[in-house]
Amino acid sequence: MKRTPKIDNIRNIGIIAHIDAGKTTVTERILFYTGKSYKIGEVHDGEAVMDWMVDEQERGITITSAVTTCNWQGTDVQVIDTPGHVDFTIEVERSLRVLDGAVGVFCAVGGVEPQSETVWRQADRYKVPKIAFINKLDRIGADFFNTVKEMKERLNAAPLLLQIPCGSEDRFEGVFDLIHMQKIVWDDETLGASYTRQDLSPDEQAELAPHREQLLETLAEVDDQVMEAYLNETPIPADMLETAIRQATIDLKRVPVLCGSALKNKGIQPLLDAIVRYLPSPLDVPAIKGVHPDSGETVTCLPKDRAPLAALIFKVSMIEGRKMTYARIYSGRIKAGEEVYNATRKKKERISRILMMHANKRDRLDEAGAGGIVGIVGPKEASTGETLCQADHPVLLEDIDTYQPVISVAIEPKTHTDQEKIEEVLEKFLAEDPTLKVKVDEDTGQTILSGMGELHLEVIISRMLREFKTSVNVGKPQVVYRETIEAVADGRAVFDREVAGQRHFGEVALRLTPLPRGTGNVFRGEVSDDQIPATLVPAVEKGVLESLESGTLMGYPVVDVQADLVGGSFKESQGTELAYKVSASMACKDALTKGRPFLLDPIMKVEVFVPEAFMGEVIGDLNARGGKIDAIEHRTGQQAITASVPLARMFGYSTALRSASQGRGTFSMHFSHFDRSG
């Protein structure tokens, strides 16, 4: 059984970045240099410890966030390696929700790429302190200072340079440390495990002097002690600088920037030092607040082992057919064999085992305390975003936001055996992944699987076959549209019939008004009591909102509509909730039909990176797909084209881009908003 560390010796961090910036490679080096792995696993060989799923190894990308724990200088670093592909953004979202700090990895060639912006803003939303690691400085086209500039412009970050690269591209040797004013060089023969700190030459000192001055100036702005020493022109010791950097990082005022090349084994140990020195322990961040499920009072969950238990389930995983629940313990302790209370479901669950995770391997623990991120076996019904606590101290922590799917495929089982298994298999996937949705089309009888993108659905179908031996036929991907109206329209309906021996009467008059894109649906029910009593207005609202879930055009959800209750009538003793709910739904459908309904396409934000020679052809192709070019920006050796394109026109784009750019173009896209295309 493993020991549990002291809470101030814990760092819960996530590695976040755009796809292919080198997150998993950085994580593999962290595991190697902390002694957690005996050899370095490479992504391109399919041997990365953290990419343990077959689909991850084959595709060379991270699909599911993996948790591991390693030790550096007496501090337990609990690392979550998150995916960089936009289809798996929920994995980043739920990881950031439970982390105390993050390391943003940036490619020195690509700079701040689109998904880097997305995950950085997610971290900002959860107020997660961050360190930046600029990777791949050995690559052709690497530009450290341009990446720092993009961090300021695109992320609105305040970078604090702690290191400067020594050389770049094929001349990259190591890094200059601006705190100690030394040069750090790694030994290639030991795979970077050993490194030396060297004194600077006079030329190097002169080159670094402005950067060192900038570091001191910036810290003087945020720390009074450094300010005093700086103004008095007295030498400032390294430990005073480090204290100031730590506080500025935790207060979200500055982002320390380090650099290196993970693939060439350079820069990782100082990054580990920075994680331990500058990122917060669970004691350094504000105590999480929840609410009492019955009274609604605010409950503060102090990060102490002796406090009442409060833990958030941030991920559910099916490993070898067994349900594994990942939880972050904010306060109190969890012990194996004890009962806990699921405040979300209002049910008791037994904890059979507690596990310290290392990707898909694990070590058993007797108990785990505040600050821990652990795997739990036992809870049968728990799912993402639910709270575990004590029955006598119930608390509900804030749920985790999920995203609405934008693409769907029809699937059907290949054999009778598959037919029997498919429902059970899909149920397991739904428990794992809140962004996956399943429904049965009543007209065709087909099962419709909806997700965040083509790759997301591809991986799910691949896993059905590999892990659960369930074969399915897959239809063409279908876009999930929305509907809205373009004209103000009135609708009226009467429900007057006998149901189960009782007369039900309700008459409702509605007016639907189109709203600006992205507003959502609004209901206003202000009518006089003699038309419809106030007690029955909630039934009208329910009927309207349910009716808006499926439009009159093609049955897609209706958005950006204001529904005003403008009239109706009421009969004493016959006016029931059922009657008003049904008549409201009918009146809403009537108004939708008259309001000139039309479809809204999911519009994707697409960023294409392409050499200048092929730019004209690529822009022409995007225009032909109904795209709108938003920006064209010059990057090292290539152009970055940002465009908004309807998802329906983006199928097969990777093949078209390859042929238009002789295989040299790359692109990424993520959902932006719903709008009328064309």
pLDDT digits (tens, 9 = 90+) for 159-193: 999 999 998 888 888 999 999 999 999 988 888 88
Beta carbons of 510 and 592 less than 8 angstroms apart: no
Q: Which residue has the tokens 């009657």?
A: 579
Distance CA 65, CA 79 (A): 10
Give the closest residue to 455 by CA, choosing from 23, 55, 135, 149: 55
**Encoded tokens for 161:** 């340079």
- Which whole number is the average pLDDT over 427-438? 79
- Side-chain-side CA neighbours of 421 within 13 Å: the count stands at 15
Helix then strand then coil, % of the chain, to nearest 5: 30, 35, 35
- Side-chain-side CA neighbours of 489 within 13 Å: the count stands at 19
Beta carbons of 314 and 327 less than 8 angstroms apart: yes
**Encoded tokens for 296:** 């609604």
| Residue 136 Cα distances to 140, 156, 265, angstroms | 9, 23, 10
Q: How many CB atoms lie within 10 A of CB 350?
A: 12
pTM greater than 0.85:
no
Distance CA 19, CA 265 (A): 20
For the chain, the average pLDDT equals 84
Residue 658: pLDDT over 50: yes
**Which backbone phi and psi does 335 adopt, to 5 degrees?**
-120, 145
DSSP code string of 152-202: HHHH---EEE-EEEES-GGG--EEEETTTTEEEEE-GGGTTS-EEEEPPPH
Beta carbons of 537 and 461 less than 8 angstroms apart: no
Q: State percent of the chain over pLDDT 70.
A: 89
Q: Which helix (H) or strand (E) holds 367?
A: strand 367-368
pLDDT digits (tens, 9 = 90+) for 219-267: 999 999 999 998 988 889 999 999 999 999 999 999 999 999 988 999 9
**Encoded tokens for 396:** 């509900």
Beta carbons of 501 and 592 less than 8 angstroms apart: no
**578 three-state secondary structure:** helix
Q: Which one has a higher pLDDT value, 408 or 308?
A: 308
Tell how far CA 517 is from the center of its chain: 24
Beta carbons of 360 and 346 less than 8 angstroms apart: no
Q: Which helix (H) or strand (E) holds 79?
A: strand 75-81
159 torsion bin: left (phi>0), alpha (psi -120 to 50), beta (else): beta
Residue 329: pLDDT over 60: yes
Q: Which helix (H) or strand (E) holds 427?
A: helix 416-432
**Encoded tokens for 32:** 């190697």
- Which whole number is the average pLDDT over 274-278? 94
Q: Which one has a higher pLDDT value, 665 or 114?
A: 665
β-strand 361-365 against 353-358: which pairing, if any?
antiparallel
**607 three-state secondary structure:** strand
Distance CA 418, CA 362 (A): 32
Distance CA 43, CA 120 (A): 23
Give the closest residue to 263 by CA, choosing from 579, 491, 40: 40
pLDDT digits (tens, 9 = 90+) for 349-387: 889 888 887 765 678 888 888 888 888 888 887 887 888
- Which whole number is the average pLDDT over 344-353? 88
**Which backbone phi and psi does 105 adopt, to 5 degrees?**
-100, 130
* pLDDT at site 398: 79
* pLDDT at site 418: 77
* pLDDT at site 544: 94
Q: State percent of the chain over pLDDT 90.
A: 31
* pLDDT at site 375: 86
Residue 51: pLDDT over 60: no
Q: How many CB atoms lie within 10 A of CB 16?
A: 30
* pLDDT at site 220: 92
